């Protein structure tokens, strides 16, 4: 399986990092070794001094597809989850400054925590639900999928023009505003509505 992440999909977050609003989705990938599951702790890596949290709604692909048209995109996923796109912001800034790719800041081990999944039937509208990240019982990031620049269906259609999607692939759909650093000892809890999706610690 592979993990595909969308960058700059919420206007407020795009602005907080001083990036232009994209005209097409921006995507990058993380390897399978980035997954962190079952509420296992995240061990703060030695190579960074500025690991940022990015709370993101995650789509699980349920059907093989390429060149998927937007109107058929809903047929390609059955479950929605919540995860974090951990980013080594210091390494990313230095790579960006040199015009280099920034995989090093995104693709490291356990940089993609993922919680449980909910069936699509749980949602009255997949493009209109609230999600949030709490750190040490304080709200740090809040979003609603109606704030996405590119909808889930547009993302699936766009990515599948370039990359075939396979069963079990995960798409992280971008983060709303409020990204910031995590520290050793932090407890991170993710919610979709009132439903707790993950709960793990930084060690
Ligand atoms: Zn992200």
43, 86, 120 from 111: Cα distances, Å: 10, 5, 25
In Å, how far are 50, 131, 152 from 127, measured between CA atoms? 31, 12, 8
Distance from residue 6's CA to the centre of ligand 1 (Å):
6
Predicted pLDDT at 2: 98
Contact 58, 34 (CB under 8 A): no
Report, as an integer, the average pLDDT of 174-183: 96
Q: Is the pLDDT of residue 202 over 90?
A: yes
Q: Residue 26: beta bridge partners?
A: 7
pLDDT-derived band at 31 (thresholds 50, 70, 90) equals very high
With cut-offs at 50, 70 and 90, classify the pLDDT of residue 145: very high
pLDDT of residue 13: 83
CATH code of the domain occupying 3-201: 3.90.850.10
What pLDDT is recorded for position 22? 86
pLDDT above 90 coverage of the chain, percent? 94
**d(CA 7, ligand 1 centre) in Å:** 5
Question: What is the rounded CA–CA span in Å between residue 55 and residue 143?
Answer: 9
User: Ligand 1: distance of its center to the CA of 86 in Å?
Assistant: 7
If you measure from the C-alpha of residue 74 to the centroid of ligand 1, how many angstroms do you get, rounded to a whole number? 22
Going from the Cα of 154 to the center of ligand 1, the distance in angstroms, rounded, reads 17
Task: Please tell me the distance between residue 173's alpha carbon and the centre of ligand 1 in angstroms.
Answer: 7
pLDDT, tens digit, 9 for 90 and up, residues 67-76: 999 999 999 9
Instruction: Check residue 16 and give its pLDDT.
Output: 84
Global pTM?
0.97
What is the chain written as a DSSP string?
Answer: --EEEEES-BHHHHHHTTPPPPSS-EEEEE-GGGEE-TTPPBPPPTT-S-EEE-EEEEEEE-S-BSS--GGGGGGGEEEEEEEE--EEHHHHHHHHHTT---GGGTSSTT-EEEEEEEEGGG-S-TTS-EEEEEETTEEEEEEEGGGBSS-HHHHHHHHHHHS-B-TT-EEE----S--EE--TT-EEEEEETTEEEEEEEB-
Interacting residues of 23 by C-beta distance below 8 A, sequence separation 6+: none
pLDDT band for 162, please (50, 70, 90 cuts): very high
Averaged confidence pLDDT in the chain = 97
What Å distances lie between residue 113 and 25, 97, 109, 127, CA to CA?
Answer: 22, 27, 10, 22
The answer, yes or no, to whether residue 1 has pLDDT greater than 90, is: yes
Report the percentage of the chain scoring pLDDT > 70.
100
- On the question of pLDDT at 15 being above 90, the answer is no
Distance 54 CA to ligand 1 centre (A): 5
pLDDT of 74-127, one tens digit each? 999 999 999 999 999 999 999 999 999 999 999 999 999 999 999 999 999 999
Mean pLDDT within 159-180: 97
| pLDDT of res. 99 | 96
Q: Residues 132-142: pLDDT tens digits? A: 999 999 999 99
Rounded to the nearest angstrom, the gap between the alpha carbon of residue 163 and the centroid of all alpha carbons in its chain is: 18
Residue 59, classified by CB atoms within 10 Å of its CB into exposed (0-12), middle (13-18) or buried (19+), is: buried
């Amino acid at each position: 399986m592979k993990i595909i992440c969308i960058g700059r999909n919420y206007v407020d977050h795009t602005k907080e990092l001083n990036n232009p609003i994209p005209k097409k989705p921006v995507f990058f990938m993380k390897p399978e070794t980035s997954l962190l599951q079952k509420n296992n702790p995240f061990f703060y890596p030695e190579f960074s001094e500025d690991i940022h949290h990015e709370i993101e709604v995650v789509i699980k692909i349920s059907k093989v597809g390429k060149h998927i048209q937007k109107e058929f995109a809903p047929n390609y996923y059955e479950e929605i989850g919540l995860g974090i796109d951990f980013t080594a912001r210091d390494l990313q800034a230095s790579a960006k400054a040199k015009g280099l790719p920034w995989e090093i800041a995104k693709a490291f081990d356990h940089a993609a925590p993922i919680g449980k999944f909910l069936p699509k039937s749980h949602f009255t509208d997949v493009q209109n639900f609230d999600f949030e990240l709490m750190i040490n019982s304080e709200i740090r990031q809040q979003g609603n999928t109606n704030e996405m620049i590119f909808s889930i269906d547009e993302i699936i259609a766009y990515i599948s023009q370039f990359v075939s999607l396979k069963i079990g692939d995960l798409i992280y759909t971008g983060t709303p505003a409020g990204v910031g650093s995590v520290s050793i000892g932090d407890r991170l809890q993710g919610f979709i509505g009132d439903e707790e999706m993950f709960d793990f610690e930084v060690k």
